[in-house]
Structure 1
Amino acid sequence: MRRLGTVVGAGVLLLLASACANPQDTQETRADRPTATSETTTTPDRQPARTPPAGGTPVTQQQLDTSGLPQGYPVLVWTEDGGRTVGVVAQEGGCGRASVEVPQQTDTQVVVLMVETVPATPKMCTMDLRYPKLTAELDAPLGTRTVVLKAEQRKS
């Protein structure tokens, strides 16, 4: 009887180890995986921090003031809808969530503030960086105005 318990225990241990090593596919995980085909029917995704979305018009470097951004922050600004919408690539990570605000618009400049909101109390978060594309509506088309980019972190 003692030998049977040892054999059953070893079998259970082996079953658990193999289950951890080879997770079973579920309907959800299989649906997320691309299937291999010999013909590509879609355009591959472009790098998010380097290219505006389809239909967006890039704002030139000469029209940008990036002095309010931390070093290494991605810089991509574009307009849509005839210049009435301004888009930016923001940065968020872990438990943070990015948003964009336009706190000031004058005849010569538009201030675009990218905000990362993080939890007020420390908690376990992933260690990843994400670069969401965000847009904000302007009172008037951007035209030749300078876009002043700023970034800040807030606690929720």
Structure 2
Amino acid sequence: MRYSAKVVGTGALLLMVTACAGQDMPTSQPAGSTGSVSVPAPASPSPSPSESVLPAPAEPNPPGKPRLTVPEGSTPVPAGKIDATALPAGFPREVWTANGGTVLNIRAQEGGCGHALGEAAEQAGDRVVVNLSETKAQTNQMCTMDIRYPVISVTLAAPLDQRTVVLKTTPAR
């Protein structure tokens, strides 16, 4: 009996929600009105031929600020020049260079309330070691359980050239 009452109640609720979805119902009607009130939609200005309807080009990715896409003009680092053996299984292993090789754009991993971070820990003649980490969530804060793969930028003192990029993870900060 309890089960059928729940099913009927849920069905009635869904029926009401779907019946009202998408309708713009006025909260009051003018006195003497018996029909529905029709309000004309505001005219949307159409762009003139000189205006562009395309989004503005993306700005270069400033170091330390994650983004979802790889900045335009970035060049992929060959897989043979990436040492990702220290990364956990399933962690992205994608690196690009930009700005003449002085900026590394790295696909990182973050989740919930955390944000991906990266820093060049070592810049030797044959390799560049990048430590990837994630900020900790604040205490008593509700966070989603999603995983995101932003692109973070790390600035190098000199162009990458033929050096190997070594990716490592460090504890959350």
Following superposition of structure 1 onto structure 2, how do residues 1-150 of structure 1 map, counting pairs within 5 Å?
18=17, 22=21, 52-119=70-137, 121=139, 123-150=141-168
Quick check: which has more Rg, 1 or 2?
Answer: 2
Contact 1:118 1:153 in 2 (8 A): no
C-alpha distance in 1 between matches for 2:23 and 2:84 = 48
Regions of 4+ moved over 2 Å: 21-25, 119-124
Amino-acid identity (%): 45
RMSD (Å), alpha carbons: 3.1
More helix by share: 1
> What secondary structure, in the 3-state scheme, does the structure 1 residue paired with 2:135 have?
strand
Count of aligned positions? 120
Could you tell me how far 1:23 is from its partner in structure 2? 7.8
The amino acid that maps onto 1:136 is V
> Against the structure 1 CA distance between its residues 126 and 82, is the aligned structure 2 distance closer, same or farther, given a 3 Å change threshold?
same
- What 5-or-longer segments of structure 1 have no aligned partner? 1-12, 26-40, 43-47
**TM-score scaled by length of structure 2:** 0.59
* Alpha-carbon shift at residue 117 of structure 1 (Å): 1.4
State the one-letter code of the partner of 2:124: T
Output the TM-score relative to the length of structure 1: 0.65
